[in-house]
Amino acid sequence: MKPSVTVEEWVARFKAIGLDEATMEQWHQLFERENPAGHQSFLEWLGLPAMRISEIRAKYA
């Protein structure tokens, strides 16, 4: 198993189980609110650059 997946792979998994964009945004909001450090770690695991991580976290804070 590779150490991470791409954002595209992750989004495809969410869509495969029926999540739409609005639900994925709710997921990010919940993750950021309940476990900000875990959300940071997850976004890093996806291989996102630091600037993109900051943008995502600010959007869902």
* Position 55 in a domain: yes
* Position 51 in a domain: yes
Q: Is the pLDDT of residue 60 over 60?
A: yes
Single out the residue of 25, 13, 24, 58 nearest to residue 40, CA to CA.
58
User: Mind listing the pLDDT tens digit for each residue in 11-39?
Assistant: 999 999 999 999 999 999 999 999 999 99
Please list the alpha-helical segments (H only) found in 1-61.
7-16, 21-34, 36-45, 50-60
What pLDDT was estimated at residue 2? 61
How far from chain centre, in Å, is Cα 36? 11
Q: Who wins on pLDDT, 3 or 57? A: 57
Into how many domains does the chain fold? 1
The alpha carbons of the chain give a radius of gyration, in whole angstroms, of: 11
Q: Is the pLDDT of residue 1 over 70?
A: no
* Position 46 in a domain: yes
Domain that holds residue 52: 7-60
What pLDDT was estimated at residue 49? 95
Single out the residue of 30, 41, 55 nearest to residue 3, CA to CA.
41
* Position 48 in a domain: yes
**DSSP state, 3?**
S
What pLDDT was estimated at residue 21? 94
